[in-house]
Structure 1
């Protein structure tokens, strides 16, 4: 399992990626500077620089609050702050280790996602 940090303004959130091929592919993109925006008052989404390889991943996933996922049909990152129904093409990457309160902002906002061992801010 790979530890990552999601930096939102002055807040640093800890998360753990699953030990899966798709999560390792996501980790290979880090560090990333993304702009998160709200989607259906349920998740924060951002475009990734490229689609992730979902070979061998389950066909669908039922997300919970705090899950970090990839929605393969759109090629985006989706961070859920509320649970949602099972969605075909949704693949879990990992989950936050604690509070995600810093992500509960209105509108679009920048975040940095990096491996926990990568450079300090």
Structure 2
């Protein structure tokens, strides 16, 4: 499954993993979010509703380009820098192109839509 993240001045694409959390994320699309800076490593935003955590590992170590769901807070996280192992973090997929756009400081208004498989 591929998604596109549209910004006023750019486009980001990503490929989602085949897991329950990613499938649940797709069910919420299309969606408009404001991505905010967090810890100088990621952009985050609350989701309309929490995603399924069925079958998900206890956590993972994200690297730049990972798209994830942080279950304890119920938010989407897109990493533009690597980070340490985080319990409750579930990988949804990976950015294919446009990561540099998401690394810019400040909030970003985005629209996320499904492109297909």
Query: Unaligned regions of 5+ residues in structure 2, if any?
Result: none
Question: Displacement, 1:14?
Answer: 1.2
* Aligned length, in residue pairs: 116
Question: 2:105 and 2:59 mapped to 1: Cα distance?
Answer: 28
Structure with the larger strand share = 2
Contact 1:8–1:103 under 8 Å retained in 2: no
Residues 19-60 of structure 1 deviation map (CA, whole Å, 9 limit, x = unaligned): 111100001100010000100000000000011010110001
Query: Unaligned regions of 5+ residues in structure 1, if any?
Result: none
Question: 2:5 and 2:66 mapped to 1: Cα distance?
Answer: 13
TM-score (norm. length: structure 2): 0.95
Alignment of 1:88-99 (within 5 A): 88-99=87-98
Give 4+ residue runs of structure 1 displaced > 3 Å after superposition.
Answer: none
Could you say which residue in structure 1 is the equivalent of 2:42? Answer: 43
TM-score (norm. length: structure 1): 0.92
SS of equivalent to 1:37: strand
